[in-house]
Amino acid sequence: MRGQTCPVPLVECRKALRKASPGDEVVVIGTHPASKKEIPMACESLGLDVLAVEEKGDEWKIRIRR
């Protein structure tokens, strides 16, 4: 999701999570600051485990377990 702005990262994250099997880990990498906050909030509201939110420079990585 590098270079993509809202709502694209959240929409694509949801698509990936729908395709994932229970127990799978989905990693989302992006650069849009608002998505770094919105994706974990959306995942938690869906009852998914947000394993980590890491930030390095302008880029972030969110690890989610389905």
Domain count of the fold of the chain: 1
| Nearest residue to 63 via CA among 33, 48, 34, 31 | 48
Is the pTM higher than 0.95? no
Alpha carbon distance 49, 32 (integer Å): 21
Domain of 15? 8-65
Give the pLDDT confidence score for residue 43 in this predicted structure: 96
Which candidate in 6, 29, 34, 52 is catalytic? 6
Residue 17 lies in a domain: yes
In a domain, 2, yes or no: no
6 catalytic residue (yes or no): yes
The verdict on residue 33 lying in a domain is yes
Segment 32-64, tens digit of pLDDT: 999 999 999 999 999 999 999 999 999 999 999
Where residue 46 sits, what CATH number does that domain have?
Answer: 3.30.110.40
Statement: residue 6 has pLDDT above 90: no
**Within the chain, how many helices (H) and strands (E) appear?**
2, 3
